[in-house]
Amino acid sequence: MPLLRDADLATAFDHAARSYDTLVAANPGYHAHLRRSARRLGLPGGVPGPRVLDLGCGTGASTAALAAALPGADITAVDASAGMLRRAARRPWPRPVRFVQAPVERLAAAGVRGPFDAVFAAYLLRNTADPDAVLAHAYRLLAPGGRLAVHEYALSGRAAHRAVWNAVCGGVVLPVATLLGDGPLYRHLWRSVVSFDTAGQLARRVERAGFERVRVLPLPGWQTGITHTVVARRPFDGGGEAGR
């Protein structure tokens, strides 16, 4: 089965929105890992009410992680799936969050404009047809010195970690998702990880987009070697024109 893209993927997420939170809640460490990655943005303490863009917010799990890590932040959360956004908007938020339905390449038309102090992208890049274009958009939307955190299933490259991923997806995730009627989406998610960048390749992709101080940080638990945070910064001096 080919990977789902663009409108087909958004439609699949629309259908899965009703059960998505239940499935991810069964994933040990899912929400704690998102909060850890949000803290890894490392925004300076002196920034009052930082503007933060949550790309691919889904049902709002990543948005909630940002709200917890940055309680004073002005958060704009974006997703292409209307169904996922409806779930996100119904959550109780400690302060208003702006939700916008749009693919990343149409953010300007949807009224999303920088500069932002930080961009957070969780489980997004491997689900896009052109991850380099997404990183270029993130670069342009960031203020000089702005922070990027990419929280992603990006395998280490070791055979053991790939085997764990395949075993969990094939033995647990896909059977449950199929019973819920969302087999095609979760089959896509399984295969998208296997075919996407390793963590090292993802870091090099971020560097090519013009970011500096790129680091790959692991996450604990069963997802060690499977999920990573890639953190980076837009240069202050106008360097990194590859991202423009």
Whole-angstrom distance, CA of residue 141 vs CA of residue 115 = 5
Question: Worst-scoring range by mean pLDDT, 32-36, 182-186, 204-208, 228-232?
Answer: 182-186
For residue 140, the Cα-to-chain-centroid distance in whole angstroms is 17
Whole-angstrom distance, CA of residue 27 vs CA of residue 83 = 21
Does residue 241 register a pLDDT over 60? Answer: no
Whole-angstrom distance, CA of residue 199 vs CA of residue 126 = 12
Secondary-structure percent of the chain, ordered helix, strand, coil, rounded to 5: 45, 20, 35
For the entire predicted model, the pTM comes to 0.92
Does residue 242 register a pLDDT over 50? Answer: no
